[in-house]
Structure 1
Protein backbone atom coordinates (compact mmCIF):
# COMPACT_ATOMS: atom_id res chain seq x y z
CA UNK A 1 0.00 0.00 0.00
CA UNK A 2 1.34 3.49 -0.81
CA UNK A 3 2.07 5.74 2.14
CA UNK A 4 -0.70 8.27 2.93
CA UNK A 5 0.03 11.91 2.16
CA UNK A 6 -0.60 13.67 5.47
CA UNK A 7 -0.55 17.34 6.45
CA UNK A 8 -1.54 18.97 9.74
CA UNK A 9 -2.45 22.63 10.10
CA UNK A 10 -1.82 23.95 13.60
CA UNK A 11 -3.41 27.00 15.19
CA UNK A 12 -0.86 27.07 17.99
CA UNK A 13 1.78 24.91 19.61
CA UNK A 14 4.94 24.93 21.67
CA UNK A 15 5.70 28.64 21.21
CA UNK A 16 2.59 29.64 23.18
CA UNK A 17 1.86 26.45 25.13
CA UNK A 18 5.05 24.38 25.59
CA UNK A 19 3.32 21.55 27.46
CA UNK A 20 0.08 21.77 25.55
CA UNK A 21 -1.90 18.83 24.16
CA UNK A 22 -1.85 20.00 20.53
CA UNK A 23 1.79 18.97 20.04
CA UNK A 24 1.08 15.66 21.81
CA UNK A 25 -1.84 15.13 19.44
CA UNK A 26 0.48 15.81 16.53
CA UNK A 27 3.10 13.29 17.66
CA UNK A 28 0.34 10.73 18.15
CA UNK A 29 -0.23 10.79 14.39
CA UNK A 30 3.38 10.03 13.49
CA UNK A 31 4.00 6.75 11.70
CA UNK A 32 6.22 5.35 14.50
CA UNK A 33 5.90 5.43 18.32
CA UNK A 34 9.10 7.47 18.79
CA UNK A 35 9.22 9.74 15.75
CA UNK A 36 12.04 11.83 14.42
CA UNK A 37 10.72 15.39 14.23
CA UNK A 38 12.57 18.24 12.52
CA UNK A 39 11.72 21.88 13.18
CA UNK A 40 12.22 24.25 10.24
CA UNK A 41 12.29 27.91 11.40
CA UNK A 42 13.00 29.45 7.97
CA UNK A 43 10.04 31.84 8.08
CA UNK A 44 11.49 33.53 11.18
CA UNK A 45 14.97 33.86 9.66
CA UNK A 46 16.09 30.84 11.72
CA UNK A 47 15.52 32.72 14.97
CA UNK A 48 17.63 30.97 17.59
CA UNK A 49 15.22 31.62 20.45
CA UNK A 50 12.44 30.01 18.41
CA UNK A 51 14.57 26.93 17.74
CA UNK A 52 15.47 26.81 21.42
CA UNK A 53 11.80 26.87 22.42
CA UNK A 54 11.14 23.93 20.11
CA UNK A 55 13.99 21.87 21.52
CA UNK A 56 12.98 22.68 25.09
CA UNK A 57 9.36 21.69 24.42
CA UNK A 58 10.11 18.42 22.59
CA UNK A 59 13.19 17.06 24.35
CA UNK A 60 11.03 15.61 27.15
CA UNK A 61 8.47 14.18 24.75
CA UNK A 62 8.82 10.70 23.29
CA UNK A 63 10.53 11.78 20.07
CA UNK A 64 13.90 12.67 18.52
CA UNK A 65 13.89 16.43 17.82
CA UNK A 66 16.22 18.32 15.48
CA UNK A 67 16.39 21.72 13.80
CA UNK A 68 17.10 22.54 10.15
CA UNK A 69 18.75 25.95 9.72
CA UNK A 70 19.18 27.37 6.22
CA UNK A 71 20.47 30.91 6.87
CA UNK A 72 23.68 29.42 8.27
CA UNK A 73 23.50 26.17 6.39
CA UNK A 74 26.14 23.58 7.25
CA UNK A 75 24.96 20.46 5.35
CA UNK A 76 25.69 19.75 1.70
CA UNK A 77 22.90 18.63 -0.64
CA UNK A 78 23.36 14.94 0.15
CA UNK A 79 23.27 15.45 3.92
CA UNK A 80 20.28 17.78 3.66
CA UNK A 81 18.32 15.25 1.63
CA UNK A 82 19.29 12.39 3.93
CA UNK A 83 18.16 14.28 7.01
CA UNK A 84 14.82 15.46 5.69
CA UNK A 85 13.88 12.11 4.17
CA UNK A 86 14.69 10.34 7.44
CA UNK A 87 12.16 12.42 9.40
CA UNK A 88 8.77 11.13 10.48
CA UNK A 89 7.46 14.65 11.13
CA UNK A 90 8.54 18.02 9.69
CA UNK A 91 7.26 20.95 11.76
CA UNK A 92 7.49 24.39 10.13
CA UNK A 93 7.42 27.53 12.27
CA UNK A 94 5.71 30.86 11.79
CA UNK A 95 6.97 34.08 10.27
CA UNK A 96 7.00 35.35 6.69
CA UNK A 97 5.38 32.91 4.24
CA UNK A 98 6.72 34.54 1.07
CA UNK A 99 10.29 34.63 2.38
CA UNK A 100 10.03 31.02 3.51
CA UNK A 101 9.01 29.83 0.04
CA UNK A 102 11.78 31.82 -1.65
CA UNK A 103 14.52 30.48 0.63
CA UNK A 104 13.27 26.90 0.34
CA UNK A 105 13.37 27.07 -3.45
CA UNK A 106 16.94 28.39 -3.48
CA UNK A 107 18.07 25.44 -1.36
CA UNK A 108 15.83 22.83 -2.97
CA UNK A 109 13.94 22.22 0.27
CA UNK A 110 10.61 22.54 -1.54
CA UNK A 111 11.45 19.51 -3.68
CA UNK A 112 12.77 17.53 -0.72
CA UNK A 113 9.63 18.15 1.32
CA UNK A 114 7.46 17.03 -1.59
CA UNK A 115 9.54 13.85 -1.76
CA UNK A 116 9.25 13.29 1.99
CA UNK A 117 5.49 13.86 1.70
CA UNK A 118 5.31 11.12 -0.95
CA UNK A 119 7.15 8.76 1.39
CA UNK A 120 4.72 9.29 4.28
CA UNK A 121 6.36 12.01 6.37
CA UNK A 122 3.77 14.02 8.30
CA UNK A 123 4.15 17.67 7.29
CA UNK A 124 2.79 20.31 9.65
CA UNK A 125 3.20 23.82 10.93
CA UNK A 126 1.76 26.92 12.48
CA UNK A 127 0.97 30.27 10.79
CA UNK A 128 3.40 30.51 7.83
CA UNK A 129 4.15 26.86 8.56
CA UNK A 130 0.50 26.07 7.83
CA UNK A 131 0.22 28.41 4.85
CA UNK A 132 3.14 26.93 2.94
CA UNK A 133 1.59 23.53 2.14
CA UNK A 134 -1.43 24.87 0.23
CA UNK A 135 -1.89 26.34 -3.25
CA UNK A 136 -2.33 29.80 -1.75
CA UNK A 137 -2.75 31.54 1.56
CA UNK A 138 -3.81 34.62 3.46
CA UNK A 139 -0.75 36.42 4.77
CA UNK A 140 0.86 39.57 6.14
CA UNK A 141 4.16 38.75 4.38
CA UNK A 142 4.03 42.10 2.56
CA UNK A 143 2.83 44.20 5.48
CA UNK A 144 -0.95 44.60 5.25
CA UNK A 145 -3.12 41.50 5.12
CA UNK A 146 -3.42 40.20 1.58
CA UNK A 147 -3.58 37.04 -0.49
CA UNK A 148 -0.60 35.03 -1.71
CA UNK A 149 -1.45 32.78 -4.69
CA UNK A 150 1.65 30.70 -4.08
CA UNK A 151 2.63 27.66 -2.03
CA UNK A 152 3.91 24.13 -2.39
CA UNK A 153 0.49 22.93 -3.55
CA UNK A 154 0.63 19.74 -1.50
CA UNK A 155 -2.74 20.60 0.06
CA UNK A 156 -5.50 21.60 -2.39
CA UNK A 157 -7.00 25.04 -1.89
CA UNK A 158 -5.96 27.84 0.44
CA UNK A 159 -5.25 28.41 4.13
CA UNK A 160 -5.86 31.30 6.52
CA UNK A 161 -4.26 31.17 9.99
CA UNK A 162 -5.14 33.28 13.06
CA UNK A 163 -8.73 33.47 11.87
CA UNK A 164 -10.14 34.51 15.23
CA UNK A 165 -7.25 36.41 16.79
CA UNK A 166 -6.01 39.00 14.29
CA UNK A 167 -8.29 41.90 13.32
CA UNK A 168 -9.26 41.86 9.66
CA UNK A 169 -8.37 38.24 9.00
CA UNK A 170 -11.91 36.95 8.61
CA UNK A 171 -13.32 39.60 6.23
CA UNK A 172 -10.09 39.84 4.21
CA UNK A 173 -9.82 36.09 3.66
CA UNK A 174 -13.49 35.74 2.81
CA UNK A 175 -13.17 38.56 0.28
CA UNK A 176 -10.14 36.88 -1.32
CA UNK A 177 -12.08 33.64 -1.71
CA UNK A 178 -15.23 35.42 -2.91
CA UNK A 179 -13.29 37.33 -5.58
CA UNK A 180 -11.39 34.29 -6.80
CA UNK A 181 -8.04 35.70 -5.70
CA UNK A 182 -7.69 32.55 -3.57
CA UNK A 183 -9.35 29.17 -4.05
CA UNK A 184 -11.73 27.81 -1.45
CA UNK A 185 -9.92 26.68 1.63
CA UNK A 186 -9.49 26.28 5.35
CA UNK A 187 -9.47 28.94 8.07
CA UNK A 188 -8.08 27.96 11.46
CA UNK A 189 -8.61 29.62 14.80
CA UNK A 190 -5.75 29.76 17.26
CA UNK A 191 -5.67 26.63 19.40
CA UNK A 192 -7.03 24.28 16.75
CA UNK A 193 -5.58 21.54 14.60
CA UNK A 194 -6.71 20.02 11.31
CA UNK A 195 -5.36 16.75 9.88
CA UNK A 196 -5.57 15.90 6.19
CA UNK A 197 -4.87 12.56 4.53
CA UNK A 198 -4.48 12.56 0.76
CA UNK A 199 -6.03 16.03 0.69
CA UNK A 200 -9.14 15.01 2.65
CA UNK A 201 -9.86 16.47 6.09
CA UNK A 202 -9.94 13.58 8.55
CA UNK A 203 -9.81 15.19 12.01
CA UNK A 204 -10.26 18.56 13.69
CA UNK A 205 -9.32 19.28 17.30
CA UNK A 206 -9.17 22.24 19.64
CA UNK A 207 -7.54 23.17 22.93
CA UNK A 208 -9.59 26.35 23.30
CA UNK A 209 -13.34 26.44 24.01
CA UNK A 210 -15.16 27.94 21.06
CA UNK A 211 -12.18 27.80 18.67
CA UNK A 212 -12.99 26.14 15.36
CA UNK A 213 -11.76 25.17 11.92
CA UNK A 214 -13.79 26.59 9.03
CA UNK A 215 -14.40 25.71 5.41
CA UNK A 216 -14.63 28.90 3.34
CA UNK A 217 -15.95 28.81 -0.22
CA UNK A 218 -17.24 31.19 -2.89
CA UNK A 219 -21.01 31.30 -3.12
CA UNK A 220 -20.81 31.94 -6.87
CA UNK A 221 -22.55 35.29 -6.51
CA UNK A 222 -19.70 37.53 -5.43
CA UNK A 223 -19.75 36.46 -1.80
CA UNK A 224 -18.51 33.58 0.30
CA UNK A 225 -19.82 30.96 2.69
CA UNK A 226 -18.25 29.91 5.97
CA UNK A 227 -18.95 26.57 7.61
CA UNK A 228 -17.70 25.84 11.13
CA UNK A 229 -16.54 22.27 11.62
CA UNK A 230 -17.00 20.40 14.91
CA UNK A 231 -13.73 19.99 16.80
CA UNK A 232 -12.87 17.39 19.41
CA UNK A 233 -11.55 19.04 22.57
CA UNK A 234 -8.09 17.91 23.60
CA UNK A 235 -7.63 17.37 27.32
CA UNK A 236 -4.36 18.28 28.95
CA UNK A 237 -2.86 15.17 30.45
CA UNK A 238 -0.09 14.55 32.99
CA UNK A 239 3.47 15.03 31.82
Structure 2
Protein backbone atom coordinates (compact mmCIF):
# COMPACT_ATOMS: atom_id res chain seq x y z
CA UNK A 1 0.00 0.00 0.00
CA UNK A 2 1.02 3.63 -0.41
CA UNK A 3 1.98 5.65 2.62
CA UNK A 4 4.15 5.67 5.73
CA UNK A 5 3.65 3.55 8.86
CA UNK A 6 5.75 3.76 12.03
CA UNK A 7 5.29 0.63 14.14
CA UNK A 8 6.66 0.84 17.70
CA UNK A 9 7.50 -2.31 19.62
CA UNK A 10 7.60 -0.13 22.71
CA UNK A 11 8.62 3.35 23.77
CA UNK A 12 7.03 6.62 22.77
CA UNK A 13 5.30 9.00 25.17
CA UNK A 14 3.42 6.23 26.96
CA UNK A 15 6.63 4.56 28.19
CA UNK A 16 8.46 7.78 29.08
CA UNK A 17 8.48 9.27 32.59
CA UNK A 18 8.16 12.81 31.26
CA UNK A 19 6.39 12.13 27.95
CA UNK A 20 9.47 12.88 25.84
CA UNK A 21 10.38 10.46 23.05
CA UNK A 22 12.85 10.59 20.17
CA UNK A 23 10.63 8.21 18.18
CA UNK A 24 7.63 10.50 18.64
CA UNK A 25 9.84 13.43 17.57
CA UNK A 26 10.72 11.47 14.44
CA UNK A 27 7.06 10.79 13.69
CA UNK A 28 6.33 14.51 13.86
CA UNK A 29 9.33 15.27 11.64
CA UNK A 30 8.10 12.83 8.99
CA UNK A 31 5.14 15.13 8.33
CA UNK A 32 7.43 17.97 7.28
CA UNK A 33 5.22 20.44 9.16
CA UNK A 34 5.99 22.71 12.09
CA UNK A 35 2.58 22.18 13.75
CA UNK A 36 1.08 18.99 12.30
CA UNK A 37 -2.38 17.71 13.12
CA UNK A 38 -1.91 14.61 15.29
CA UNK A 39 -4.88 12.46 16.26
CA UNK A 40 -4.62 9.87 19.02
CA UNK A 41 -6.78 6.75 18.68
CA UNK A 42 -6.94 4.95 22.07
CA UNK A 43 -9.45 2.25 21.03
CA UNK A 44 -7.29 -0.66 22.21
CA UNK A 45 -7.35 0.66 25.79
CA UNK A 46 -11.13 1.23 25.72
CA UNK A 47 -10.40 4.94 25.30
CA UNK A 48 -8.71 5.17 28.70
CA UNK A 49 -9.04 8.80 29.75
CA UNK A 50 -5.62 9.04 31.39
CA UNK A 51 -3.94 7.64 28.29
CA UNK A 52 -5.49 10.25 26.01
CA UNK A 53 -4.68 13.04 28.49
CA UNK A 54 -1.06 11.91 28.61
CA UNK A 55 -0.90 12.02 24.81
CA UNK A 56 -2.24 15.56 24.73
CA UNK A 57 0.29 16.68 27.34
CA UNK A 58 3.19 15.02 25.50
CA UNK A 59 2.33 16.60 22.14
CA UNK A 60 1.26 19.99 23.46
CA UNK A 61 3.09 22.89 21.82
CA UNK A 62 4.40 20.92 18.85
CA UNK A 63 1.18 19.66 17.29
CA UNK A 64 -2.52 20.39 16.98
CA UNK A 65 -3.88 17.44 18.90
CA UNK A 66 -7.19 15.60 18.80
CA UNK A 67 -8.58 12.33 20.15
CA UNK A 68 -10.89 9.95 18.28
CA UNK A 69 -13.05 8.32 20.96
CA UNK A 70 -15.16 5.50 19.57
CA UNK A 71 -16.49 4.83 23.10
CA UNK A 72 -17.89 8.37 23.36
CA UNK A 73 -15.79 9.35 26.35
CA UNK A 74 -15.95 12.92 27.59
CA UNK A 75 -14.60 15.49 27.03
CA UNK A 76 -14.13 14.23 23.47
CA UNK A 77 -17.50 12.60 22.83
CA UNK A 78 -18.10 10.84 19.53
CA UNK A 79 -16.52 12.31 16.41
CA UNK A 80 -17.16 11.18 12.86
CA UNK A 81 -14.15 8.93 11.99
CA UNK A 82 -13.90 10.74 8.64
CA UNK A 83 -11.91 13.34 10.61
CA UNK A 84 -8.95 10.98 10.19
CA UNK A 85 -8.73 12.07 6.56
CA UNK A 86 -7.75 15.56 7.74
CA UNK A 87 -4.81 14.50 9.93
CA UNK A 88 -1.07 14.60 9.40
CA UNK A 89 -0.50 11.76 11.89
CA UNK A 90 -2.82 9.08 13.27
CA UNK A 91 -1.21 7.66 16.41
CA UNK A 92 -2.71 4.42 17.75
CA UNK A 93 -2.32 3.48 21.41
CA UNK A 94 -1.71 0.11 23.02
CA UNK A 95 -4.10 -2.36 24.67
CA UNK A 96 -6.14 -5.17 23.17
CA UNK A 97 -5.38 -5.79 19.50
CA UNK A 98 -8.44 -8.03 19.07
CA UNK A 99 -10.83 -5.45 20.54
CA UNK A 100 -9.27 -2.67 18.49
CA UNK A 101 -9.77 -4.58 15.23
CA UNK A 102 -13.37 -5.49 16.04
CA UNK A 103 -14.39 -1.93 16.95
CA UNK A 104 -12.53 -0.37 14.03
CA UNK A 105 -14.26 -2.61 11.54
CA UNK A 106 -17.68 -1.70 12.93
CA UNK A 107 -16.87 2.00 12.49
CA UNK A 108 -15.27 1.71 9.05
CA UNK A 109 -11.76 2.74 10.08
CA UNK A 110 -9.74 0.31 7.92
CA UNK A 111 -10.85 1.91 4.65
CA UNK A 112 -10.47 5.43 6.06
CA UNK A 113 -6.95 4.73 7.33
CA UNK A 114 -5.85 3.22 4.03
CA UNK A 115 -7.21 6.28 2.23
CA UNK A 116 -5.56 8.66 4.70
CA UNK A 117 -2.18 6.95 4.31
CA UNK A 118 -2.44 7.18 0.55
CA UNK A 119 -3.06 10.91 0.89
CA UNK A 120 0.06 11.44 3.02
CA UNK A 121 -1.09 10.87 6.61
CA UNK A 122 1.58 9.12 8.70
CA UNK A 123 0.11 6.09 10.51
CA UNK A 124 1.83 5.20 13.78
CA UNK A 125 1.21 3.09 16.85
CA UNK A 126 2.65 1.18 19.77
CA UNK A 127 2.05 -2.45 20.82
CA UNK A 128 -1.54 -3.12 19.67
CA UNK A 129 -1.01 0.01 17.61
CA UNK A 130 1.89 -1.82 15.95
CA UNK A 131 0.11 -5.15 15.58
CA UNK A 132 -2.96 -3.81 13.84
CA UNK A 133 -1.17 -2.85 10.59
CA UNK A 134 0.11 -6.39 9.93
CA UNK A 135 -1.65 -9.52 8.65
CA UNK A 136 -1.09 -11.24 12.00
CA UNK A 137 0.51 -10.67 15.37
CA UNK A 138 1.50 -11.91 18.81
CA UNK A 139 -1.06 -10.64 21.30
CA UNK A 140 -2.23 -11.03 24.90
CA UNK A 141 -5.76 -9.91 23.95
CA UNK A 142 -7.11 -13.25 25.19
CA UNK A 143 -5.03 -13.45 28.39
CA UNK A 144 -2.11 -15.75 27.54
CA UNK A 145 0.03 -14.81 24.57
CA UNK A 146 -1.60 -16.09 21.40
CA UNK A 147 -1.23 -15.78 17.64
CA UNK A 148 -3.82 -13.54 15.98
CA UNK A 149 -3.92 -13.98 12.17
CA UNK A 150 -6.55 -11.27 11.69
CA UNK A 151 -4.86 -7.90 11.18
CA UNK A 152 -5.51 -5.19 8.62
CA UNK A 153 -2.76 -6.37 6.28
CA UNK A 154 -1.38 -2.90 5.51
CA UNK A 155 2.04 -4.49 6.15
CA UNK A 156 2.53 -8.08 4.94
CA UNK A 157 3.37 -10.83 7.40
CA UNK A 158 3.28 -10.74 11.18
CA UNK A 159 4.42 -8.59 14.09
CA UNK A 160 5.72 -9.08 17.60
CA UNK A 161 6.12 -6.00 19.84
CA UNK A 162 7.93 -6.00 23.22
CA UNK A 163 10.16 -8.73 21.78
CA UNK A 164 12.81 -8.82 24.50
CA UNK A 165 10.92 -6.79 27.09
CA UNK A 166 8.23 -9.27 28.13
CA UNK A 167 8.58 -12.93 29.20
CA UNK A 168 7.88 -15.59 26.54
CA UNK A 169 7.41 -13.10 23.66
CA UNK A 170 10.52 -14.24 21.81
CA UNK A 171 10.11 -17.97 22.35
CA UNK A 172 6.42 -18.08 21.46
CA UNK A 173 6.67 -15.81 18.43
CA UNK A 174 9.43 -17.96 16.97
CA UNK A 175 7.35 -21.08 17.61
CA UNK A 176 4.31 -19.63 15.83
CA UNK A 177 6.39 -18.59 12.83
CA UNK A 178 8.07 -22.01 12.75
CA UNK A 179 4.72 -23.82 12.73
CA UNK A 180 3.03 -21.46 10.31
CA UNK A 181 0.54 -20.19 12.88
CA UNK A 182 1.89 -16.75 11.92
CA UNK A 183 3.68 -15.73 8.76
CA UNK A 184 7.23 -14.44 8.58
CA UNK A 185 7.46 -11.03 10.16
CA UNK A 186 9.17 -8.43 12.29
CA UNK A 187 10.01 -8.59 15.99
CA UNK A 188 10.66 -5.21 17.58
CA UNK A 189 12.12 -4.58 21.02
CA UNK A 190 11.07 -1.90 23.50
CA UNK A 191 12.04 1.67 22.50
CA UNK A 192 12.47 0.65 18.85
CA UNK A 193 10.32 0.95 15.74
CA UNK A 194 10.21 0.10 12.06
CA UNK A 195 9.33 2.65 9.41
CA UNK A 196 7.39 1.16 6.50
CA UNK A 197 7.00 3.22 3.35
CA UNK A 198 5.06 2.43 0.15
CA UNK A 199 5.05 -1.32 0.72
CA UNK A 200 8.64 -1.80 1.88
CA UNK A 201 10.76 -1.49 5.01
CA UNK A 202 12.45 1.93 4.89
CA UNK A 203 14.45 1.69 8.14
CA UNK A 204 14.47 0.63 11.76
CA UNK A 205 15.03 3.24 14.48
CA UNK A 206 15.45 3.26 18.25
CA UNK A 207 15.42 5.89 20.98
CA UNK A 208 17.79 3.89 23.17
CA UNK A 209 21.00 2.14 22.13
CA UNK A 210 21.06 -1.65 22.10
CA UNK A 211 17.38 -2.05 21.18
CA UNK A 212 17.22 -4.60 18.34
CA UNK A 213 14.79 -5.31 15.53
CA UNK A 214 14.64 -8.72 13.83
CA UNK A 215 13.20 -10.19 10.68
CA UNK A 216 11.93 -13.63 11.73
CA UNK A 217 11.45 -16.21 8.96
CA UNK A 218 10.38 -19.83 8.78
CA UNK A 219 13.11 -22.18 7.58
CA UNK A 220 12.03 -25.80 7.46
CA UNK A 221 10.62 -26.58 10.90
CA UNK A 222 12.42 -23.70 12.61
CA UNK A 223 12.27 -19.92 12.77
CA UNK A 224 15.42 -17.94 12.09
CA UNK A 225 16.19 -14.38 13.25
CA UNK A 226 17.92 -11.91 10.96
CA UNK A 227 18.91 -8.74 12.78
CA UNK A 228 17.93 -5.52 11.03
CA UNK A 229 20.22 -2.48 11.07
CA UNK A 230 18.86 0.05 13.58
CA UNK A 231 19.54 3.77 13.55
CA UNK A 232 19.65 5.28 17.03
CA UNK A 233 17.82 8.58 17.13
CA UNK A 234 19.36 11.51 18.97
CA UNK A 235 17.14 14.11 20.72
Match of 2:13 in 1: 14
Contact kept in structure 1, 2:207 and 2:233, CA below 8 Å: yes
Match of 2:147 in 1: 147
Q: Say which SS state the counterpart of residue 100 (structure 1) adopts.
A: helix
Match of 1:51 in 2: 52
The gaps in structure 1 that reach 5 residues or longer are none
Pairwise CA distance, 1:46: 0.1
- The answer to whether structure 1 residue 233 and structure 2 residue 232 are counterparts is yes
Match of 1:39 in 2: 40
TM-score (norm 2): 0.93
Contact kept in structure 2, 1:6 and 1:197, CA below 8 Å: yes
Contact kept in structure 2, 1:44 and 1:95, CA below 8 Å: yes
Pairwise CA distance, 1:4: 4.2
TM-score (norm 1): 0.92
Q: Say which SS state the counterpart of residue 28 (structure 1) adopts.
A: helix
Structure 1 stretches of 4+ with a deviation exceeding 2 A read 31-34, 73-76
Pairwise CA distance, 1:203: 1.5
Equivalent residue pairs, number: 229
Q: Say which SS state the counterpart of residue 124 (structure 1) adopts.
A: strand
Match of 2:91 in 1: 91
The gaps in structure 2 that reach 5 residues or longer are none
Pairwise CA RMSD of aligned residues? 1.5
Match of 1:64 in 2: 64
Match of 2:156 in 1: 156
CA deviations on 1:35-85 (whole Å, 9 max, x unpaired) are 111000000000000000000000122x21111000117446xx431x110
In 2, distance between residues paired with 1:199 and 1:33?
A: 27
Q: Which moved more, 1:17-26 or 1:50-59?
A: 17-26
Match of 1:136 in 2: 136
Match of 1:114 in 2: 114
In 2, distance between residues paired with 1:144 and 1:235?
A: 36
Q: Say which SS state the counterpart of residue 158 (structure 1) adopts.
A: strand
| Matched ranges for 1:217-232 at <5 A | 217-219=217-219, 221-232=220-231
